[in-house]
A = this chain, B = another copy of it.
Amino acid sequence: MSGVVNVNRISLNQITTENWSLREAIDGCVRNEIPTISVWRHKISEVGLKESKKMIKESGLGVSSVCRGGMFPALTASERVQRIDDNKRAIEEAAELGTDVLVLVCGAAPDKNLPESRKWVQEGIETLIPFAEQHKVKLGIEPLHPMYAADRSVITTLGEANALQNSLASSQVGVIVDVFHVWWDPFLYQEIENARGNILGFHVSDWKVPLPDIFKGRSMMGDGVIEIPRIRQAVEENDYHGPIEVEIINQDIWDMPGDETLKLMKKSFVEHV
Contacts and interface: CB of A to CB of B under 8 A. Distances in A.
A186 B211 contact: no
Interface stretch (A46-54, A77-85, A143-151): A143-151
Interface in A48-84: none
A114 interface: yes
A170 to B, nearest CB: 21
A106 B233 CA distance: 29
A232 to B, nearest CB: 14
A118 interface: yes
B210 A214 contact: yes
A186 B207 contact: no
A113 B230 CA distance: 11
A209 B118 contact: no
A148 to B, nearest CB: 9
Contacts of A157: 186
A46 to B, nearest CB: 26
A contact face: mostly helix, strand, loop, or mixed:
loop
A112 interface: yes
Interface residues of A, number: 28
A109 B207 CA distance: 13
A156 interface: yes
B146 A184 contact: yes
A125 to B, nearest CB: 16
Contacts of A225: 109, 112, 150
Interface in A221-241: 224-227
Contacts of A184: 114, 146, 149-150, 156
Contacts of A149: 183-184
A160 interface: yes
A71 to B, nearest CB: 15
A96 interface: no
Given A146-B146, A146-B185, 10 more contacts: A109-B225, A112-B227, A114-B186, A145-B147, A147-B147, A149-B183, A149-B184, A150-B209, A157-B186, A211-B214
Interface of A: 109, 112-114, 118, 145-147, 149-151, 156-157, 160, 183-186, 207, 209-211, 214-215, 224-227
Q: Which 7 A-B pairs have the closest CB atoms?
A: A149-B184, A147-B147, A146-B184, A150-B225, A150-B209, A146-B146, A151-B209
